[in-house]
Structure 1
Amino acid sequence: MARVRTALTSPRTRTVVAAVSLASALTLSLSSCGKADMTKQTSPFAAAGGSRSVTLSFGSWVGANANVGVAKYLLEHELGYHVDTTQVDEIPAWDALSQGRIDAILEDWGHPEQEKQYIDEKKTVTDGGTNGVTGHIGWFVPTYWAKAHPDVLDWHNLDKYAGELKTSESGGKGQLLDGSPAYVTNDKALVKNLHLDYHVVFAGSEAAQITQIQQYAKQKKPFLTYWYEPQWLFKQVPMTEVKLPKYTDACAKKGEKDPQSIDCAYPKTPVKKYFNAQFAKGNSDAAKFLKKFRWSNDDQNEVSELIASKGLTPDEAAEKWVHAHPEVWKKWLP
């Protein structure tokens, strides 16, 4: 998530750059063109001779893998498409979508600047509607600690516990554990504006953050972490959200003008899909299918846990979920 720190209208975008070869090629292409208008470039996977192919982008968090895994499986097995998938960081993914290098992003947590640029102004990207998931970012503590110290669930009391949350990386302050600096996060601004004795420490990725949380939980240690829903880890490590100052539209508008001024909680966000405009206008079976793709937080968590906790590949997890839930996905078929 290089953060386009677009405040409260864009909660959690979780991304880490660990790309496959296409992602590397995309990064090189995007970085080498400066500010040139790339919207007219064609996709390296453009269908040739009427071939049925589609390219899907996914972020580095496991929920994004779950979406793409299921969509890929059904496009290939039910609709006869060849599907290419590529991991691309969030902002470059919008650029690639605009250029036609990818056809769809299936999970975006809100990037107002990119929406304005590519949907409203260039008209190279189309809003694909929600994928059915409702996302929310917040600050969480382990439930076992919250039960022993219920007042920690009010942000006003966090400084009381800063000493217990110090780590070697937090510089003498309490540690607020975040994932990647590229994720959508308002945490540094919140710590500053709420005058809290905490320091934001980045684990570096969702996987690294999960590992750290699991280690703390195994030892029954207290921790305070940036976290989000939907997320399969809640089943293994129950966590309770700390109540931050209430989210308001006024706070959101203030944050849009100056992200460093944010001083309220993250909103609940309908997670959305976005399509390359030409791909959407073509109204192929793939486009029709992806427009209808819509599932629940529980559905995504089920697939995510199979991938992250049970060790299945996205394709294997998708196959397992598809066989178990025909009542959900058959509605997506054109």
Structure 2
Amino acid sequence: MGTTSVETGQRALRLPAAGTALALVVLAGCTSGTGQAAGAFPEVVIAMPAWTGGQANAAVAAHVLREELGVPVRLRELSPGQAWDQLDQGGVQVVLEDWGASPDKRRLYTAQRMSVVPAGDLGPVGRVGWYVPGGYAAANPGVLDWRNLNEYADTFASAESDGRGRLLTGGPDDASHDEALIDALDLAYTTVPAGGEEQLIEALRGADRDGGAVLANWWQPHWLHEELELAEVELPEHTAGCHREGGPDRCGYPDIPLRKYLNAVFAEHGGEAAAFLTDFSWTAEEQNEVARMIAAEGMSPEGAAARWAEKNTERIAGWLGEG
């Protein structure tokens, strides 16, 4: 039976920088003839992001690799940018949920270096936007049109926003174009990092409970939408190119099909493990079920994945071509 470990930080096992050909020689020389389900790889390393939906993906995939295929698995906690770099270098074999936040790295590694290959859609479609509690929106319907937001700036102001309306965001390193959009729309707001997903959730829960006013950068899919009614502010429609350098930035966020990527050497020589990760996809509802167990019920990602897997044996069999 395989094992799973979680690793934090920057350290990685790296393939030689000389390229794919040399990497194959090294892998073949070290592991040829092992007959493992991961082919030439002694373990599979999965990039695990900070948000709970991404943790749910990684945990369930790790559970299937470990329990069904007998493959040792390591989960590496990485930011999206770090994950792309490690995919290129061979420090991780798979990214399961890419939101398109690093287009330059994607083009470099998939089109130029060809060290990373697409592995299909994860299933859910991501949507980022600005949200307020449903109760506040019901009492103040005008807030749902961006053209009216300046009328509510004083209501959303906080000690951290220097007299301007506060747009609450997650962590300081989260990718967004909120500041550019605020400037382009001439809004009297400023972004204020809450610290992370957990802090954002607490702010939204508190506002929902107390009837307060919070404007937050938030996203779907997310399990919190099943607990709270959140209303999305209508931003200008997204158009192609509006976020590019020199673009007008007068548009909201696009819908984002969440995609998977594999290290190219692993995709070709990772055996059943690579085939499973290519076939792995699920719904937003399934992801939310596991994510809620992690975030709301306090379960470990591994424990949540095990509970979900126990109830979804047919789903797993389908991923493995056994259904």
TM-score, normalised relative to structure 1: 0.85
Report whether the alignment pairs 1:84 with 2:74. Answer: yes
Match among 117, 140, 146 for residue 149 of structure 1 = 140
Give the corresponding residue for 1:257: 245
Match among 312, 315, 319 for residue 299 of structure 2 = 312
Give the corresponding residue for 1:128: 119
Match among 9, 15, 36 for residue 23 of structure 1 = 9
Q: Work out the CA distance in 1 between the residues paired with 2:128 and 2:9.
A: 27
For 1:101, give the aligned amino acid. G
Q: Work out the CA distance in 2 between the residues paired with 1:72 and 1:202.
A: 31
Q: Partner of 1:267: helix, strand, or coil?
A: coil
Q: CA RMSD in A?
A: 2.2
Per-residue Cα deviation, 1:208-242 (whole angstroms, up to 9, x for no partner) = 22222222222221111000000111122210100
Q: What stretches of structure 1 of length at least 5 have no aligned partner?
A: 1-19, 31-35
Distance 1:202 1:38, change over 3 A: farther
Report whether the alignment pairs 1:102 with 2:64. Answer: no
Per-residue Cα deviation, 1:129-171 (whole angstroms, up to 9, x for no partner) = 1111110000001000111111111111111111111101011
Distance 1:221 1:75, change over 3 A: same
Give the deviation of 1:331 after TM superposition.
1.4
Given that 1:58 and 1:87 are in contact with CA atoms closer than 8 Å, whether structure 2 keeps it comes out as: yes
Q: Partner of 2:243: helix, strand, or coil?
A: helix
Give the corresponding residue for 2:3: none
For 1:158, give the aligned amino acid. L
Give the deviation of 1:42 after TM superposition.
6.3
Given that 1:42 and 1:101 are in contact with CA atoms closer than 8 Å, whether structure 2 keeps it comes out as: no
Distance 1:127 1:321, change over 3 A: same
Per-residue Cα deviation, 1:39-59 (whole angstroms, up to 9, x for no partner) = 66969xx79543542110111
Given that 2:17 and 2:89 are in contact with CA atoms closer than 8 Å, whether structure 1 keeps it comes out as: no
TM-score, normalised relative to structure 2: 0.88
Report whether the alignment pairs 1:288 with 2:265. Answer: no
Give the deviation of 1:327 after TM superposition.
3.3
Q: Work out the CA distance in 2 between the residues paired with 1:317 and 1:297.
A: 16
Given that 1:42 and 1:100 are in contact with CA atoms closer than 8 Å, whether structure 2 keeps it comes out as: no
Q: Percent of pairs identical after alignment?
A: 35
Aligned pairs, number? 302
Given that 2:117 and 2:264 are in contact with CA atoms closer than 8 Å, whether structure 1 keeps it comes out as: yes
Distance 1:220 1:187, change over 3 A: same
Q: Work out the CA distance in 2 between the residues paired with 1:21 and 1:146.
A: 42
Q: Work out the CA distance in 2 between the residues paired with 1:179 and 1:219.
A: 21
Q: Partner of 2:305: helix, strand, or coil?
A: helix
Give the corresponding residue for 1:55: 45
Q: Work out the CA distance in 1 between the residues paired with 2:157 and 2:133.
A: 16
Distance 1:177 1:161, change over 3 A: same
Give the deviation of 1:103 after TM superposition.
0.4
Q: Work out the CA distance in 2 between the residues paired with 1:169 and 1:150.
A: 26
Given that 2:92 and 2:263 are in contact with CA atoms closer than 8 Å, whether structure 1 keeps it comes out as: yes
Give the corresponding residue for 1:196: 187
Report whether the alignment pairs 1:242 with 2:230. Answer: no
Given that 1:58 and 1:65 are in contact with CA atoms closer than 8 Å, whether structure 2 keeps it comes out as: yes
Give the corresponding residue for 1:3: none
Q: Work out the CA distance in 1 between the residues paired with 2:23 and 2:213.
A: 51
Distance 1:255 1:172, change over 3 A: same
Given that 2:86 and 2:92 are in contact with CA atoms closer than 8 Å, whether structure 1 keeps it comes out as: yes
Q: Partner of 2:302: helix, strand, or coil?
A: helix
Give the deviation of 1:183 after TM superposition.
1.5
For 2:222, give the aligned amino acid. Q
Given that 2:124 and 2:283 are in contact with CA atoms closer than 8 Å, whether structure 1 keeps it comes out as: yes
Give the corresponding residue for 1:279: 266
Given that 2:121 and 2:258 are in contact with CA atoms closer than 8 Å, whether structure 1 keeps it comes out as: yes
Q: Work out the CA distance in 1 between the residues paired with 2:191 and 2:18.
A: 36
Q: What stretches of structure 2 of length at least 5 have no aligned partner?
A: 1-5
For 2:157, give the aligned amino acid. K
